[in-house]
Each structure stands twice: as C-alpha cells, then as structure tokens.
Amino acid sequence: MELNTILISAFLSILPISELRGAIPYALANGIPLVAAYPLCVGLNALVAPLVFLFLSTFHKLFLKMGWYDRFFTKFIESARHKVQEKVDKYGYLGIMFFVAIPLPITGAYTGTLGAWILGMSKRKTILAALGGVIISGIIVSIVATLGVQAFSFFIKEI
C-alpha cells in the first residue's frame, strides 16, 4: 500500500461529493485490500456528522447576530420544518440512517446531518443514526465495488 493512495482514499472519504461511493472503489482499485479500505474509509466518513454539527452550530451562533441572517434563517427553518415534519415524525432517526445509507449523489452523511440540524433533531441521536447509515453504505459500496453491478443482477429478470 502506498501512502499517497491511503491519503487520497482518506480525503475522498470526507469529501462531500464522493464520500464512501468514491473512496472505497478508489482504494480497492489502487491495491488497498478491503479489510483495510473499509475501516479507513468508513471511520473517516463517520467523523463527518460530528464535524458538520460543530461547524453549523459555531457559524450559526455567529451569524444569528446579523439581523438579515436571523430573519432569513427563521423563515427558511419554519418552511422546511412545515414541509417535512410529517415524514420526520413518521421515520425519525431511522429515516436519517437510511438516507445516509443510500450511496447515491446528494445522499450521505453531510446531507443527512445538515437536514437533521435544520430540523432541530438531537445531535447525539443524529450522529448515531449517521454512523449506522455510514456503516450500511460502506457495506453496499464494498459489495458493488468487489462483485460489481452483477452482484445485484438477481433482481433483474430475463426478458
């Protein structure tokens, strides 16, 4: 294993665009065995949720001192909560976990944590839900990266 490959895999794990769907395949394609790639990438991606909470909370407190931000944010939050409150009540933290677990663009630890923060959900429970989602996402990405898309061909029937 080359240090450069490990560092790039680590960087891809915490990058919002790629997260695990970019990091694990990159690591595997560059010679890092799955037993090393999975814990490295999943472990670093799991750190995203607490870092996002810290970042958002810190800047939010600073920006709330500005009147325009306070008015905009309050209006935005009220609108967002009104639109999704029914789904949040129905799915809660399990919904956050499954949203984070889906290894597709615009889903993942960043978006799941941001959504939970906007909705005022518990920091601790959100971090745990995101961790569960990251673990599941890592498993899905690992299966697809090692076995290929053919691993899911049993869902497709012959025509």
Q: Which residue has the higher pLDDT, 106 or 159?
A: 106
Instruction: Give the separation between CA 26 and CA 6, rounded to whole angstroms.
Output: 10
pLDDT score at 78:
80
Average pLDDT over residues 40-61: 93
Would 41 be classed as within a structural domain? no
Would 139 be classed as within a structural domain? yes
Instruction: Give the separation between CA 112 and CA 27, rounded to whole angstroms.
Output: 24
Would 11 be classed as within a structural domain? no
Q: Which residue has the higher pLDDT, 117 or 89?
A: 117
DSSP string, the chain: --HHHHHHHHHHHHSTTTHHHHHHHHHHHTT--HHHHHHHHHHHHHTHHHHHHHHHHHHHHHHTTSHHHHHHHHHHHHHHHHHHHHHHHHHHHHHHHHHHHS-STT-SHHHHHHHHHHTT--HHHHHHHHHHHHHHHHHHHHHHHHH-GGGGGGGSPP-
Q: Are 116 and 84 in contact (CB under 8 A)?
A: no
**Mean pLDDT (the chain, rounded):** 89
Q: Residue 16 above 60 pLDDT? A: yes
Would 119 be classed as within a structural domain? yes
For residue 116, what are its two tokens? Answer: 């939970």
Would 9 be classed as within a structural domain? no
Would 82 be classed as within a structural domain? yes
Q: How many CA atoms lie within 13 A of 68 on its CB side?
A: 0
pLDDT score at 86:
82
Would 140 be classed as within a structural domain? yes
Average pLDDT over residues 117-122: 89
Average pLDDT over residues 73-97: 85
Residue 93 structural domain:
47-155
Q: Residue 47 above 90 pLDDT? A: yes
Q: Which residue has the higher pLDDT, 78 or 48?
A: 48
pLDDT score at 67:
83
Buried b / exposed e over 100-111, threshold 16 CB at 10 Å, is bbbbeeebbbbb
pTM for this structure? 0.84
pLDDT score at 157:
52
Give the chain's domain count. Answer: 1
pLDDT score at 74:
81
pLDDT score at 159:
46
Would 6 be classed as within a structural domain? no
Q: How many CA atoms lie within 13 A of 60 on its CB side?
A: 14
